Structure 1
Amino acid sequence: MKTTGNTIFISGGSAGIGLALAKKLSEAGNKIIINGRNEERLQNAASQLENTSSIQGDLSDKADRIRIVEELHQKHPEVNIIINNAGLAFLNDLNNPEISSADLAANEMNTNYVSVIDFTELMLPSLLEQSEAAIINISSIAAFRGNKYAPTYAASKAALNSYTQGLRDTFAENEKLNIYEVYPPLVNTEFSAEIGGANGIPPSEVANELFLALEKNQFEVPVGDSKQIHALIHPIIEQLPH
């Protein structure tokens, strides 16, 4: 996959992993469109980057998804890479009767899984018209195993992982469309602050690993501690019927 001269849409691009990806890819000579909910944060992020514009909106909302896709088609019809990075996570104690674990899970599933499927489906026709295209889903080390702190978040990432594998299999014979999945471990971002993110790796490490993977057409992209788990699990998965 070429690493320069692309037009790349990044959801959740105003902070954290998304902003690190935007910085790395814009410096490499790509045109970047970042998305986020907060217009002020978006404008501030875009002003720090080269070749970068922004589209405000909440991709977890169906109407906003449709509006964002329409704006991309009208203003940036050459988009050939989408990075589904926007995410939502809650500390969700399944033994706490004072919270609705199901409500928290529904919000996580909608943002981390259902909205990704819908947005990707809406963008697929235009992506398939490009000479070279990619869909990049930012998953998590949590996709490999749940935990008691954020069990429903982990479940949403496991669902995203399964969907990504199915999407890759669906387009396996299309040499123009590549499907990537990135598995960050704990990353030091505002998003992960509540669960000890200060102990995590810098977002730039995720961006660097993805960049190398694009150069090598490496569609599975484990990062940091995820590499050891991925090395154990992935060979087994690849032996299962597709």
Structure 2
Amino acid sequence: MKTSKNTILITGGGSGIGLEIARLFSTDNNIIITGRTSEKLQKAVSELQNITAIVADINNAADVENLVAELRKNHPKLNMVINNAGLANYYKLTDENANAFEKASEEILTNYLSIVRLTEKLLPQLQTQQEAAFVNVSSIAAFSPGIVLPGYAVSKAALHSYSQVLRISLEKLEKKPLIKVFELMPPLVNTSFSKEIGGQNGISPEEVALTLKNAIESDIFEIHVGATADFYKLYLSSPEAALQTMNANK
């Protein structure tokens, strides 16, 4: 798929991986970023070209309705949606007062259910384009869960399954052109999002963004970034060994 002359929506585009994707793609595409914090979005707008910011909480049904309406009205050529907004709570199920139910509920809503809703509402608009794609930002944790990220891992596993089902469902449609579905699966990334679990030891968000761009150009639909590629091989050979590796020294 081409990586220029697109109109791209990036949720959670004001910081971290989303911001770096916006930065890399903004030179050759029209970019719309969303997020809950106006200050972060406006800072991105001031730094980048070809970018529009819309304050919206993807967990809020009214915000999503307003976002979809604005995209249809003011950005009718929208042809790529990058579902990047995410939430991670760091805790163990055995922690006293872990509040696992509340935390997992937030993560399932943010990392999975909100994507299902936004995708369903934007699918008709993307179906009017000559070339279109959804990009779901998943995680290495979709393959094996970590004990310090129990709810996050479950939500990303759900997103992984959803991405596969969506891809196959769109492939089976007689309506053409085909809407492509990419899944970006980074390992630990050095952002504020992962600070609590040693994010400073992770790869750069710039590397994640560049890997995504190269994969889109080559139509690589399941994108194993950095260490995810080797971990996936381990997972295929021994799911038990992968699980132990994910939870070593934790």
- What TM-score comes out, normalization by structure 1 length? 0.94
Match of 1:131 in 2: 130
Match 2:213 to one of 211, 214, 236 = 211
The one-letter amino acid of 2:108's match is M
Q: Check whether the contact 1:139–1:184 (CA below 8 A) recurs between aligned residues.
A: yes
Q: Are 1:99 and 2:98 an aligned pair? A: yes
Q: CA deviation at 1:230?
A: 2.9
Q: CA deviation at 1:108?
A: 0.3
Q: Are 1:53 and 2:47 an aligned pair? A: no
Q: Check whether the contact 2:171–2:178 (CA below 8 A) recurs between aligned residues.
A: no
The one-letter amino acid of 2:182's match is Y
Q: CA deviation at 1:20?
A: 0.5
Match of 2:242 in 1: none
Aligned to 1:218, what secondary structure does the other structure show? coil
Distance in 1 (alpha carbons) for counterparts of 2:177 and 2:72 = 23
Task: List aligned pairs for 1:147-158, cutoff 5 A.
Answer: 147-158=146-157
Mind listing any 5+ residue stretches in structure 1 that lack a counterpart?
Answer: 237-242
Aligned to 2:125, what secondary structure does the other structure show? helix
The one-letter amino acid of 1:165's match is Q
Aligned to 1:192, what secondary structure does the other structure show? helix
Distance in 1 (alpha carbons) for counterparts of 2:46 and 2:236 = 40
The one-letter amino acid of 2:42's match is Q
Q: Check whether the contact 2:134–2:182 (CA below 8 A) recurs between aligned residues.
A: yes
Distance in 1 (alpha carbons) for counterparts of 2:128 and 2:89 = 38
Match 2:187 to one of 185, 188, 192 = 185
Match of 1:83 in 2: 82
Match 1:224 to one of 223, 226, 230 = 226
CA offsets 1:45-82 (integer angstroms, 9 cap, x no match): 11111101110010011111111111111111110000
Distance in 1 (alpha carbons) for counterparts of 2:177 and 2:154 = 31
Match of 2:248 in 1: none
Aligned to 2:210, what secondary structure does the other structure show? helix
Distance in 1 (alpha carbons) for counterparts of 2:48 and 2:85 = 19
The one-letter amino acid of 2:227's match is D
Aligned to 1:95, what secondary structure does the other structure show? coil
Aligned to 2:26, what secondary structure does the other structure show? helix
Mind listing any 5+ residue stretches in structure 2 that lack a counterpart?
Answer: 239-250
Q: Are 1:66 and 2:77 an aligned pair? A: no
Match of 1:10 in 2: 10
Corresponding residue pairs, total: 235
Match of 2:196 in 1: 194
Match of 2:42 in 1: 43
Match of 1:239 in 2: none
Q: CA deviation at 1:233?
A: 5.3
Match of 1:240 in 2: none
The one-letter amino acid of 1:169's match is I
Q: Check whether the contact 2:135–2:181 (CA below 8 A) recurs between aligned residues.
A: yes
- What TM-score comes out, normalization by structure 2 length? 0.91
Distance in 2 (alpha carbons) for counterparts of 1:76 and 1:131 = 15
Distance in 1 (alpha carbons) for counterparts of 2:145 and 2:225 = 18
For structure 1, which segment, 167-176 or 116-125, has the greater mean C-alpha deviation from structure 2 after superposition?
A: 167-176
Q: CA deviation at 1:92?
A: 2.4
Q: Are 1:108 and 2:107 an aligned pair? A: yes
The one-letter amino acid of 2:24's match is K
Q: Check whether the contact 1:92–1:104 (CA below 8 A) recurs between aligned residues.
A: no
Q: Check whether the contact 2:130–2:177 (CA below 8 A) recurs between aligned residues.
A: no
Distance in 2 (alpha carbons) for counterparts of 1:231 and 1:80 = 33
